Structure 1
Amino acid sequence: MHAIILCGIQGSGKSSYAQAHWFDTHVRLSLDLLHTRQREDVLLHACLAAKISFVVDNTNPSRAQRLRYLQLARASGYERIELYHFRSGLAAALERNARRSGKQRVPDIAVRGTLAKLETPTPDEGWDRIVVVEARIDGSYREELLQT
C-alpha cells in the first residue's frame, strides 16, 4: 500500500507527472476530477478501507492540508507515504497554465494566490520520503530526493 501526496502550484507539472508515473498503479484523487471535497473524501476513504494505493493530485499548499492525508494513511496502516513537492517559478507555471485550454486553465490570480499560501515542505512533517520535482521546458522532469 502506497500513498503519494502531491504539492505545488497550478501549472507546476503535478498532473502530467502523476499520469506518467502512476496511471496504471494508483487511484488518482483530484479536485479537478472530483469537483468537491465531499466526493474526494468518499473516494479517499474507500481507498483507505480497501488498502488501495492512491495519489492525491491537488495543490496542497499548506502543511495542514498535507498532514491530513499523511495522518489518515498512517492510521490506515499504509506502508509507504510519500510527498512529491513540485517546485516551480511563477513565470514557468503561468506559461504552462497559459498553454492549457478550457477548464484546465486556471486564472493567473489563482496561481499567484496558491504560491502566496505555499508552505515549503520540510522533513519534520513525517513523510517516509520527500521528492522535489521540477518540470523542464522539454517536458522532462528533474527529481531530487530531499528525504528518505
Structure 2
Amino acid sequence: METDTGMDVAVLVGLQASGKSTFYRECLSGRYGLVSKGLFPRSARDRQGRQMRLVEEHLAAGRPVAVDNTNPSPREWAPLVELAHAHGATATAYWFPPDVAGSLWRNAAREGRARVPDVGVLATLKRLREPSPADGFDAVRQVRFDGRGGFEVRGRAASAPRGTAARRAPASGRERLLRVKGRRSP
C-alpha cells in the first residue's frame, strides 16, 4: 500500500530463509529500494542506526524502500513505522508465517555467510510476532510460497484511516488475494 506519491516502507517480517529476500527480488525490487543489515559488512558498527539512516535517505529522496531483515517484533519494526509516518509515507508489513522445517531446510542449503546457525533461526522464532494494523502498519500482507515458483500475497489495509485519503482501506474492506510471479509488484 503506497501513498499517492508512492512513498512506502515495506517491512519484511519472518524467519531466516523464509523467502523474504526472494520475494523482494522477484516482487518489489522494480519499485522499492533495499535496506538490509545482511548487506552491511560484518564489522559495521551501530547496524540499527545505519539502517535507519539509509531508510531515511530513501524517504527524503522520495523513494519507497523495503527493509529486508527478520524484523521479528515491535522492537525492530516500531522505529521503521514511526520513520515512515514522519515522512508522510505508509508502512506496509509483509508477514511470512513461520514454517520452521522449511526455513531450516532452505537455510541448510545456503553456503558461507548466508547460512545462519540453526539456533539462530530458533531464537528468532521465539521472538517472532505477527504484525498487525494495531502496531501502526497501514497494511499487513501475508506472503506464502504458492507452490508454482511464485508467491501468494493476502492482505488488508488498516481499517482505521490515519487521516489521509491515500491510507484509507478499500471501500469493500475485503481481503485481497494476489498471485505474484516474476517482477510484478503486489
After superposition, the Cα gap between the structure-2 partners of 1:10 and 1:122, relative to the gap in structure 1 and judged at 3 Å, is same
CA separation in 1, counterparts of 2:132 and 2:68? 19
Aligned partner of 1:2 in structure 2 is: 8
Q: Give the aligned residue type for 1:143.
A: V
**Correspondent of 1:45 among 36, 56, 69:** 56
TM-score (norm 2): 0.73
Could you say what secondary structure the match of 2:9 adopts? strand
The 3 A distance-change label for structure 1 pair 135 and 120 is same
1:76 aligns with 2:108: no
**Match for 2:138 among 104, 128, 131?**
128
TM-superposed CA distance for 1:38, in Å, is: 3.6
Of Structure 1 and Structure 2, the greater helix share is in 1
RMSD, matched Cα: 1.6
Quote the residue 1:109 is aligned against.
Answer: 119
What residue in structure 2 maps to residue 100 of structure 1? 110
Q: Which of 96, 101, 124 is the equivalent residue of 1:91?
A: 101
3-state SS of 2:63 partner: coil
Contact 2:52–2:80 (Cα < 8 Å) also in 1: no
AA paired with 1:54?
V
Structure 2: where are the runs of 5+ without partners? 1-6, 42-46, 158-168, 170-186
State the alpha-carbon separation in 2 of the partners of residues 29 and 7 from structure 1. Answer: 14
The structure number with the bigger radius of gyration is: 2
Which of the numbers 21, 30, 36 marks the counterpart of 1:30?
A: 36
Q: Which has the higher contact order (CA 8 A, sep 6+)?
A: 1
Contact 2:98/2:125 (<8 A) preserved: no
Runs of at least 5 residues in structure 1 that lack an aligned partner in the other structure: none
- Report the secondary structure of 1:39's partner residue: helix
Aligned-pair CA distance for 1:135? 2.5
Normalising to structure 1: TM-score of the pair? 0.90
Alpha-carbon spacing, 1:90–1:129, altered in 2? closer, same or farther (3 Å): same
